[in-house]
Structure 1
């Protein structure tokens, strides 16, 4: 008997795949400092390793965007499974910088491949409710971050479990999504099913509206993802267990995306993006300036701000520029991660400069970075690192302030314009 397409099972498997992506983000954020200590890495070296995931992602998502219509979403997700498995195992058995670099690259490429296949898959199986279902799908990113940060906090921080075992927990959902996708039948992508030609697709990608969203995605991604990946270090001077700040912001995102439907339908996609930029700016400002219990209030506000950035940017493309197809969504997602990788690389070196300025006069920076735990130099480096976090947050704050202006213009420009629907061709 011919196998039929099962949207709900495909959606569940997609959510599991995204869960692995987010676990890699949350657990790595929690063990970042441990990796630095274990392998004697300075902030620039940690930044290089971390940024590798963010440029491995766009590399995979852009390549995936170009080939997904030809090879199918299923084949892409098999590749994602293999890359996730290789990246996790290589991290567990790493002995130095280069193993961590390559493993992070593999995980970044796996994460990008998941996005390259699953975003068009969700749009294809739920064509009448795209942005809401993209929000429901993407709630598993912050949801997984909550799980990952709690794993890092309780198992790693409280019980002292090795980072290797923390990484190993990711193997469970990896094998689950791999098994499910291998057994399920996949639909065609929406563009292919609608008979939209490559010429029309490339014309849509070259439109002014697409280019504007393409550029703005860089800012929304940096605001959300850079801050989240480095929050454990950036907020260490304010709260003892700063990884909990990431769990709070991710928890807010998870709840917000779960109830995205009524919000998106009432406010419009552009209205949601404008409000998101405003709340993100307020949250970042508060995190950089307040102390005590107000830090948790700041984290909640920031979490509310970044909740709808990623899914609504993709939803905007699928609703207003649907002829751009899977490639359009993947190019937008790719520039987001690529922007984070570039920002991470350059801010890492600047972070080192800020820390060096806060060390004792005449201190040799390399000596303090590589100092053994418990020594005077190591404690001085930790204090300088913590004191530098708020200054980096103030630099990031510039980005959502620019986004407020840009999304306000976009909101009024798009007011009253209807979504574009593609009709599926029948034989």
Structure 2
């Protein structure tokens, strides 16, 4: 990797993830544009129109994860750029559920290709500091949501401009990351570098530990992204500007991920995950009983809980099941996004027919289950390490 410009590739990767994250925040703001008070879709219909952001992401990650070793990281990265460009343009042209669905599908595929290509690239470039660098990379997911939330608030709520201008802002980081990747030499994935066979890679994703982590990923992703994606509907009756709560949550997440290296040194990945589940549960429970300014306190607790979920789930697999390679990371990310595609219409139906508070109560059950699962994971990893030392 002597001729690979690690710093430039890492910065370009962060900007590509910034685009991914901004689409999440801007899509959350579009809920009111296309909803009952705007174009006239029900919240359940919007939930279905938004689902391709997650199952498109899932398909792109899984197929991208399979192909990244053979086609190379570079080709998958440029597929991300092209589908991002199509999705953003189509969003500008969307006028009903069908067109919004198709626009969201291309955005989702672009987002999935970003993760499919760039997670394994960073794991390969920084093989000695995977958890630290993957957390630093994933700073830009909450960071991008903060930026996207503030952009949406300023353009639509403060300046009173059109939603098309808000969406058009996405072209700026899109062009920047395209130019930064242009002409660069990309590294090979870690699995290719280690010479791990396809047979061993596919066998590794059938291991009980990997399957267990996939199940956990369903719950961690739904807890984090399901709640954040529907923040407008969940909190509009308890706080004046829900999008600012979203920015607040993700600001805390970005700051936390910047210091992930120190935290993981003390807790280890499995300890970080248990810590996260406890705070995520407490935060969601507090959101059901608070309103006004106290909502920000509950949101802060929730933010502490979800800060390390996504990158630490990925780094756990990269560290303890490295032979799973890009495929393993893609299956994990794909499982997470697929779970969100399932939870969004369910949440929309609950909010349409009952209340937002009921949706929050149901969501709080997910981290409660995770607490039990991560306690079991910590016990298992302690025994595994003890047995390894004894051998």
Question: Does TM-score exceed 0.5, indicating one fold?
Answer: yes
State which structure, 1 or 2, has the greater radius of gyration over its C-alpha atoms: 1
Q: Residue 258 of structure 2 corresponds to which residue in structure 1?
A: 258
1:108 maps to which residue?
108
Kindly report which structure 2 residues correspond to 1:373-392, keeping only aligned pairs within 5 A, or say none: 388-392=355-359
The aligned counterpart of 2:78 is 78
**Does residue 155 of structure 1 match 2:155?**
yes
CA deviation after TM superposition for structure 1 residue 95, in Å: 2.4
Q: 1: CA distance between counterparts of 2:171 and 2:38?
A: 23
Structure 2 partner of 1:415: 382
CA contact (8 A) 2:350 2:356 kept: no
Partner Cα separation in structure 1 for residue 375 and residue 161 of structure 2: 47
User: For the aligned residues, what is the CA RMSD?
Assistant: 1.4
Aligned to 2:20: 21
- Alignment deviations for residues 53-108 of structure 1 (CA, whole Å, 9 cap, x no partner): 01110010001011110000110111111111111111112222211110000000
Q: Write the distance in 1 (CA, Å) between the matches of 2:384 and 2:161.
A: 54
Aligned to 1:362: none
List gaps (5 residues or longer) in structure 2. Answer: 386-391
Q: Counterpart of 1:291 in 2: which secondary structure?
A: coil
Residue 30 of structure 2 corresponds to: 31
Q: What SS does structure 1 have at the residue aligned with 2:51? A: helix
Distance in 1 (alpha carbons) for counterparts of 2:296 and 2:97: 34
How many equivalent pairs are there?
385
Equivalences for 1:199-348 in 2 at 5 Å? 199-348=199-348
Q: TM-score w.r.t. structure 2 length?
A: 0.96
Deviation at residue 353 of structure 1 after TM alignment: 2.1
Structure-1 separation of matches of 2:103 and 2:26: 14
Residue of structure 2 equivalent to 1:4: 3
Q: Where in structure 1 are there 5+ consecutive unaligned residues? A: 355-387, 419-427
CA contact (8 A) 1:122 1:133 kept: yes
Match of residue 373 from structure 2: 406
Give me the whole-angstrom Cα distance separating, in 2, the residues matched to 1:121 and 1:415.
29
Instruction: Kindly report which structure 2 residues correspond to 1:183-194, keeping only aligned pairs within 5 A, or say none.
Output: 183-194=183-194
Which whole-Å CA distance do the structure 1 matches of 2:380 and 2:231 have between them? 35
Q: Report if aligned partners of 1:31, 1:152 keep a CA contact under 8 Å in 2.
A: no
Query: How far apart are the structure 1 equivalents of 2:147 and 2:55?
Result: 24
**TM-score using structure 1 length:** 0.88
CA shift, 1:343, in A, is: 1.4
Instruction: Quote how far apart the aligned CAs of 1:288 are.
Output: 1.1
Displacement of 1:3: 8.8
Change (3 A) 1:136 1:3: closer
